[in-house]
Amino acid sequence: MQRKVTLRKMGGSVGATLPKDIAERLHVQEGDELFVVETDEGVLLTPYDPEFQKAMAAYKRTANKYRNALRELAK
């Protein structure tokens, strides 16, 4: 989907207003935080924290090795 939005001055920043249908599809509402990620193709606006994905990948790499310790910590 492709939509055009207009940037507006908001205090000392510049902001864009999301159309209602896009906000509903992203399951975001006023007050929610979005992450802006610069990519080779442009800008990605997402409600998902890209750092969380890195943390989960690190967990998966070590979960098997420390399985017993993690089980004890979970008690």
Give just the sign of the alpha carbon dihedral 57, 59, 60, 61: positive
pTM: 0.56
- Name the residue with tokens 């492709």: 2
pLDDT band at 26 (very low <50, low <70, confident <90, very high): confident
Residue 69 has pLDDT above 90, yes or no: no
Q: Which residue has the higher pLDDT, 3 or 11?
A: 11
For residues 53 and 37, give the distance between their C-alpha atoms in angstroms, rounded to a whole number.
13
- What mean pLDDT value characterizes the chain? 87
pLDDT at position 2, please?
Answer: 80
